[in-house]
Structure 1
Amino acid sequence: MQGLSLASLKKNPALIPLYVCIGVGGAAAVFYTLRLALRSPEVTWNRKSNPEPWEEYRNKQHKFYSPIRDYSKVESPAPKYTE
């Protein structure tokens, strides 16, 4: 197929921005998926060492963007589960 080798890209330089955009979009998708898997309070990788990982985020920001800077002064809307 044309456009998949370096020699054919030299003949069709208009395909280079297409490959750059697809590469950047793929890298952004992988980065965001990894960020969700590693930073979200809903995901736990080791349940034995931290049985309630959501309690760690009670006074922390876990949104992608929030106008509130200091979460230590804001009362958390999350319910406290005690037995």
Structure 2
Amino acid sequence: MQLGTRWSAGSEPPASVPASLRQQIEAVEDAMPADQLGQPTPRWTLTWLEGRPIAELDTGVIVSLDANGKAVVRYDEDDEFG
């Protein structure tokens, strides 16, 4: 069993975040608009499903691995913020 973790966008991901996800997580963060209203920084949540890592940002952006082990980015259409 692997436990998940949380961290704020823009900060260094914890060591438990697999290297296979880090480049796409960074790309998502680079694409985020700068906050001009003083809103709280969104947070990432790392979970594991059937042994595969899934990083989900509070905004509904999800970074996961496809069947070939390649990191992919998608948006959760059912997210409450979407």
TM-score, normalising length: structure 1: 0.22
Q: Which has the larger radius of gyration?
A: 1
Q: Which has the higher helix share?
A: 1
- Say which structure, 1 or 2, has more relative contact order (CA 8 Å, 6+ apart): 2
Q: Which has the higher strand share?
A: 2
